[in-house]
Amino acid sequence: MFNGKNILITGGTGSFGKQYTKTLLERYKPQKIVIFSRDELKQYEMAQVYNQPCMRYFLGDVRDESRLKEATNGIDYIIHAAALKQVPAAEYNPTECIKTNIYGAQNVIAAALVNGVEKVIALSTDKAANPINLYGATKLASDKLFVAANNMAGSRKTRFSVVRYGNVIGSRGSVVPFFKKLIKEGAREIPITDIEMTRFMITLQQGVDFVLKNFERMKGGETFIPKIPSMKIIDVANALAPNLPHKIIGIRPGEKIHETMCPSDDSHITYEFEDYFVIAPTIQFNFITDFSVNALGESGKLVQRGFEYNSGSNTEWLSKEEFLELTKEIE
């Protein structure tokens, strides 16, 4: 569905944006891929690798609505990946996080509506479910904006959906490259925040594939959540450095012991499909009534009341061997 299409990726020079671009170029023949981001050096470096005729690089900030409207002209699909994502940094710099994650989301929506974009998928995070930190709260607000945007569209064709998933193995900011760096530098111990801490685990490619597929599945207004395994952070450390001792350093500002992707409070509007969940909107749309069937005709069923998809009570867990297999290509 991406052949001959114009695609814009906000925050396109990040881990996800680069992998998404690589995948689009390998599998499809898009007319244009627009990388929208604010860092000229990262754009320059990315352009050395992805310099195909369809590639375009737009310097700009999602905080700048007018620049976004320029970049979005003629675009068919948007992947909104731009965000301030570091939990401790957001706790100490809340206003900056709000400007990018909330006001930036609204600017993407406005640009998409003005330019008649067909479909928009916004990337969310497990931290947006029952948030206890500023980053998660801003992403929940962003998710709500994108869901509500389907009503703002009125008679226009633009549809908006959200994709939420957990810790991306090997992405910038992930614990995996951090641990690997320590090991490479000859660290004598591995810092662990809490021995009980768990996280959902997904690879960058799995995340990209999930987003790609959801462009086909989406009707507008859904939050898509993949079924993915969990792992204890202490097991991650043991897998990467089995002979190194651990140093318990305590939970960082805004961190949870376990992450949630489907809160129990949303169980009455959560549908289980074969390999993913869908949280339906809490508000009514004029154009849709049934989220138990997606645009591809796949059917899901309502989960039991009180169901919660939590990394600590997950039924699927990554073994150390499986984890190491997934991390082989991570530097």
Give the pLDDT of residue 23.
Answer: 97
Residue 220 carries which side chain, given as an amino acid letter? Answer: G
Q: Please, what are the domains in the chain? A: 6-166+202-227+266-310 (3.40.50.720)
Give the tens place of pLDDT for each residue, 245-258. 999 999 988 899 99
* Strand order across the 223-226 sheet: 55-59, 32-37, 6-10, 77-80, 119-123, 159-163, 223-226, 276-279, 270-272, 301-302
Work out the percent of the chain whose per-residue pLDDT is above 70. 99
Smallest Cα–Cα separation from 164: which of 58, 73, 277? 277
The helix (H) or strand (E) run that includes residue 120 is strand 119-123
Give the residue-averaged pLDDT of 3-23.
97
Of these residues, 18, 127, 232, 256, which one is catalytic? Answer: 127
What pTM, to 2 d.p., does this model score? 0.95
Residue 289 has pLDDT above 90, yes or no: no
Give the tens place of pLDDT for each residue, 170-226. 787 788 888 989 999 999 999 999 999 999 999 999 999 999 999 999 999 999 999
Residue 12 has pLDDT above 80, yes or no: yes
Residue 331 has pLDDT above 60, yes or no: no
Sequence-ordered list of residues with C-beta below 8 angstroms from that of 219, at least 6 positions apart, any chain: 159, 161, 288, 291, 294, 295
Residue 52 in tokens: 């195909």
**Looking at 182-291, which runs of residues are DSSP E strands?**
190-192, 198-203, 223-226, 230-232, 246-248, 260-262, 270-272, 276-279
Residue 236 carries which side chain, given as an amino acid letter? Answer: V
Give the pLDDT of residue 171.
Answer: 80
d(CA 207, CA 99): 25
d(CA 296, CA 294): 5
Give the pLDDT of residue 330.
Answer: 60
Give the pLDDT of residue 11.
Answer: 97
Smallest Cα–Cα separation from 169: which of 12, 18, 13, 15? 15
- What is the rounded average pLDDT for all residues in the chain? 95
Residue 329 binned pLDDT confidence (cut-offs 50, 70, 90): low
Residue 46 binned pLDDT confidence (cut-offs 50, 70, 90): very high
Work out the percent of the chain whose per-residue pLDDT is above 90. 89
> Catalytic site residue 18?
no
More confident residue, 223 or 328: 223
